[in-house]
Every structure is written in structure tokens, then in C-alpha cells.
């Protein structure tokens, strides 16, 4: 006797629009609903099928923390359409499978998890094991700890406090600086104060004064548990400051001008100049470009900004939106501050910056604003200099930086003219 069964291909022959939509799926926002036939709802969800065996009148089902666009893709699958899920959508798809109790969806996500670990898929893999398996793989935890700096913040905040604790306590944790870890936890804490327990993994003795002040000002006393207190109290002993130079904990370099009036020699460009012992533009460590050098003064080239002790300076052609840019080539930077110095040979009213924007990019095509100044007189004079704080897109890394004028200089022309430019923040080499 031969067995025979029908495939599910026949579902694509069903005209769903002809059948009563008598069952409603409700998402987090009750304005977002999806109505289908109740038989189809049972086909999708074993949970709904079980509920109908008890009470056939049930006609709604909540899908907490589920994405309606992922649900729409499942409906497309049932109609025989080809559907593709991006890696970043897997966590939404997994959560949907768990809520529906659909093991086929869960198994599909599990199959995708067999792919190579990357900073973009590691959270999805952790979420799968966190929500569906009894424990989380040590290998995944170690990978997350070693690559935490590359994992997007909106991914990290999906993880539970217990999983983040496992990551932050790893010896292989690799971060740019202790302040970077503090800022990450602080951002999570601002979303939900329950994240406060993660501060116990911060080495407080290695924080800048600014970070310590933020913690003392914002942290509620009742959120300071015994483990956080132990981490803070280490400041009172020699154990408070830990030398991590021989470990992998700190992977990046941090450059700070220390205060607004400090000499610019503490910056990223100065560090690279010292490291390579020469003109880093000519040595192709970085690449300086511009919208064009003043054709009447061809010696006022971009690389003049690298030597603040020289009377030479950069001057662009007289065109709107003139700019000077830095390509860090195989490096990236995340800025906190930047330094500009005006030309040394003319006082007020000359080609000094008054309106400008500093921008960052990964591809030299799409630019993100980092800081903008309008009607600013602080550089209007010979050899004037100032340090400015980044006001937008903090914490993001960029390969390209660009300083661009957004209005005329103090002379009324559009010649972008500066003698020195420097950057402070994180350098990823």
C-alpha cells in the first residue's frame, strides 16, 4: 500500500479576499491590526488552534513586540509569493514565530543562525537562544564581548539585562575606553533604570571626571546595589585604577584636548603625524581634499592645516559651500570635539569663518551633520582659535570628515580660510 499526501502549494490557489476576515491580530499599537480568516489563523498558529478547541468564539489574538511588516511577509508566503528576510529582520521574525507558536518559523530562523557570526547578526542569534533555548552559547557571548563596539546600539538594547551582564563580565570584553562602556550603559539606563545594575562592570577608576560627575548627578541612591558600591568604593584604594594596557580590554585610542584652551597637539592628526614622523598627507596616511584651492594663491593648499607653527594656511576658491575634507582611508574616527584656527596675517573683517558645518560620511556621498555654527564671531581675527563640541551624531564612526562653509566669511566672500584643523575623540585603527 502506497502513502500519498498533498503539499501546501494549493494554498496559493485560494483567493483570500473572498473569505470572511473574521479573526484579528492586534499588535503593540492597537491602531495596527491585521484581519484574516479564522481557519487561516489556526493554520498559522497552533496556539490559536488550541484556544478555539476551548472557545471557538475567540476572534482576536495579541502579538506583543511583533512587527506588522514581518507578519505581512508571512501572508505573502501563504499566497505563493517569494519573500526575503534581511538579517536585521530575523529577531522580529523569531519573535513572531514564538508568539504564534509556529515551530516552522522558529526552525527557519534557527537555520539562518548557522551562518557566520557578525556584529549585525549576533544579537539575533543571542535573542534566539535567550527566548527559545534553555541557555545562551558561551561562544556567542564571547563573540559579542569581543565585538561589542561594532554592534549597533538599537540592537544592543533588545538584549536582556542578564545577557548583557554575561557579555560585560567577559575577560575578552574589548572596548574603546572605559568611558565608552560607561556611556553605553548610561544610554541604556536613560531608557530603563533597571539597567543600572550594569554599572557594576565599569572600572570607575579609569573614567574621566566628566563621566563620574554624570553618574553622581543622575544615579538614584536606591539603584546603587552592593556590586555597584563595590565598584565605586574601589576609587578610594589603589585598586581603583587598573592598568589594562597589556589586556585586550581597550582596543581604541582616545584623544582629548583636556580643556577648551589647551594646545591642539593632543589631537588625532597630531598623533598620526608623530606616529609616522612626517607629513601624513604626503605619506598617504590620510588624504586631504577640498572643493578647490584659491587659483590666485596656489600655495595655500590643504596640507598647510597640518602645521600650526607655520605661517602658511589653506584657502579655498571663492565659491559657495566651499569645503576642506579629510579621508582617514583605512581608519575611522568618532568625534567629541574639534579645533579651528584662523589665518595669521589679517585681523577682523578678513576671510574668517562665521558660518560653517562639520560633517561625517562613510562613503563620501551621504553626509551626516556633526556640528553647525551660524553668525559665530569667535574666529574673526588673526590667529584666533577655539575648540567646539560635537552636537549631533555623537558616538558614530566615520571615514570621511568635511568642514564646509554655509555662508560668507567675515569679508563677505566664500573663501574657506583656516590655518589649522584638529579633531578629538576616538580613533579606530
Instruction: Please tell me the predicted confidence (pLDDT) of residue 326.
Output: 97
Least confident of 104-113, 147-156, 290-299: 104-113
Instruction: Please tell me the predicted confidence (pLDDT) of residue 87.
Output: 64
CATH number, domain 253-428? 2.60.120.260
Give the pLDDT band (50/70/90) at residue 7.
low
Give the pLDDT band (50/70/90) at residue 113.
low
Residue keyed to cell 564671531 = 377
For the chain, counts of helices (H) and of strands (E): 13, 14
Kindly report the length of the chain: 429
Give the pLDDT band (50/70/90) at residue 1.
low
pLDDT in tens, 361-396: 999 999 999 999 999 999 999 999 999 999 888 778
Helix axes 138-146, 161-168, angle to 10 degrees: 70
Instruction: Please tell me the predicted confidence (pLDDT) of residue 246.
Output: 44
**Options 3.20.20.70, 2.40.50.100, 3.40.630.30, 3.30.710.10; CATH of 14-113:** 3.30.710.10
Average pLDDT over residues 52-56: 92
Average pLDDT over residues 108-130: 80
Residue keyed to cell 593632543 = 266
Q: Who has greater pLDDT, 48 or 307?
A: 48
Task: Dump strand ranges (E) for 211-277.
Answer: 253-255
Q: Is the pLDDT of residue 165 over 60?
A: yes
- Distance, in Å, from the CA atom of 219 to the CA atom of 202, rounded to the nearest integer, reads 14
Which DSSP helix (H) or strand (E) runs through 34?
A: strand 33-36
Q: Who has greater pLDDT, 396 or 14?
A: 396
Would the pTM of this model clear 0.75, i.e. be above it?
no
Give the pLDDT band (50/70/90) at residue 413.
very high
Q: Is the pLDDT of residue 32 over 80?
A: yes
Q: Who has greater pLDDT, 84 or 281?
A: 281
Instruction: Please tell me the predicted confidence (pLDDT) of residue 50.
Output: 92
Task: Name residues whose C-beta falls within 8 Å of residue 327's C-beta, 6 or more positions apart in sequence.
Answer: 286, 287, 288, 289, 364, 399, 400
**pLDDT mean across residues, the chain:** 85
CB crowding 279-304: b at 16 or more within 10 Å, else e:
ebbeeebbebebbebbeeeeebbbeb
pLDDT in tens, 188-228: 999 998 998 898 898 888 887 888 888 888 777 777 777 67
Average pLDDT over residues 233-255: 61
Q: Is the pLDDT of residue 233 over 80?
A: no
Instruction: Please tell me the predicted confidence (pLDDT) of residue 240.
Output: 47
Amino acid at each position: 500500500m502506497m502513502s500519498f499526501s498533498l503539499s501546501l502549494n494549493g494554498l496559493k490557489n485560494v483567493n483570500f479576499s473572498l473569505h470572511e476576515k473574521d479573526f484579528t491580530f492586534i499588535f503593540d499599537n492597537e491602531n495596527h491590526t491585521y484581519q484574516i480568516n479564522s481557519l487561516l489563523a489556526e493554520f498559522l498558529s497552533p496556539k490559536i488552534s488550541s484556544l478555539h478547541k476551548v472557545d471557538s468564539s475567540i476572534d482576536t489574538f495579541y502579538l506583543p513586540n511583533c512587527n506588522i511588516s514581518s507578519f505581512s511577509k508571512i501572508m505573502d508566503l501563504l499566497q505563493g509569493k517569494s519573500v526575503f528576510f534581511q538579517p536585521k529582520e530575523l529577531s522580529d521574525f523569531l519573535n513572531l514565530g514564538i508568539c504564534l507558536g509556529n515551530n516552522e518559523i522558529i526552525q527557519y530562523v534557527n537555520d539562518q543562525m548557522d551562518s557566520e557570526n557578525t556584529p549585525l547578526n549576533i544579537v539575533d542569534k543571542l535573542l534566539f537562544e535567550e527566548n527559545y533555548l534553555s541557555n545562551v552559547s558561551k561562544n556567542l557571548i564571547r563573540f559579542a564581548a569581543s565585538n561589542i563596539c561594532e554592534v549597533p546600539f538599537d540592537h544592543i538594547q533588545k538584549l536582556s539585562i542578564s545577557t548583557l551582564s554575561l557579555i560585560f563580565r567577559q575577560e575578552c570584553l574589548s572596548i574603546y575606553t572605559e568611558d565608552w562602556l560607561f556611556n553605553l550603559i548610561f544610554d541604556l539606563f536613560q531608557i530603563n533604570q533597571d539597567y543600572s545594575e550594569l554599572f557594576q562592570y565599569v572600572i570607575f577608576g579609569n573614567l574621566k571626571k566628566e563621566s563620574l560627575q554624570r553618574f553622581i548627578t543622575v544615579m538614584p541612591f536606591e539603584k546603587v546595589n552592593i556590586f555597584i558600591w563595590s565598584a565605586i568604593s574601589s576609587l578610594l584604594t589603589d585598586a581603583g585604577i587598573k592598568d589594562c594596557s597589556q589586556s585586550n580590554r581597550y582596543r581604541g585610542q582616545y584623544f582629548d584636548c583636556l580643556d577648551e584652551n589647551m594646545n591642539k597637539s593632543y589631537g588625532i592628526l597630531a598623533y598620526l603625524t608623530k606616529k609616522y614622523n612626517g607629513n601624513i598627507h604626503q605619506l598617504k596616511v590620510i588624504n586631504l581634499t577640498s572643493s578647490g584651492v584659491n587659483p590666485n594663491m596656489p600655495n595655500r593648499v590643504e596640507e598647510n592645516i597640518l602645521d600650526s607653527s607655520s605661517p602658511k594656511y589653506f584657502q579655498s576658491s571663492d565659491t559657495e559651500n566651499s569645503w576642506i575634507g579629510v579621508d582617514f582611508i583605512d581608519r575611522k574616527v568618532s568625534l567629541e570635539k574639534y579645533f579651528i584656527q584662523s589665518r595669521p596675517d589679517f585681523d577682523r573683517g578678513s576671510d574668517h569663518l562665521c558660518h560653517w558645518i562639520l560633517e561625517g560620511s562613510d562613503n563620501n556621498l551621504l553626509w551626516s551633520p556633526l556640528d553647525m555654527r551660524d553668525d559665530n564671531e569667535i574666529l574673526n581675527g588673526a590667529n584666533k582659535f577655539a575648540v567646539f563640541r560635537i552636537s549631533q551624531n555623537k558616538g558614530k564612526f566615520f571615514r570621511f570628515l568635511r568642514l564646509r562653509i554655509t555662508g560668507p566669511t567675515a569679508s563677505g566672500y566664500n573663501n574657506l580660510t583656516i590655518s589649522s584643523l584638529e579633531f578629538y575623540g576616538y580613533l579606530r585603527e
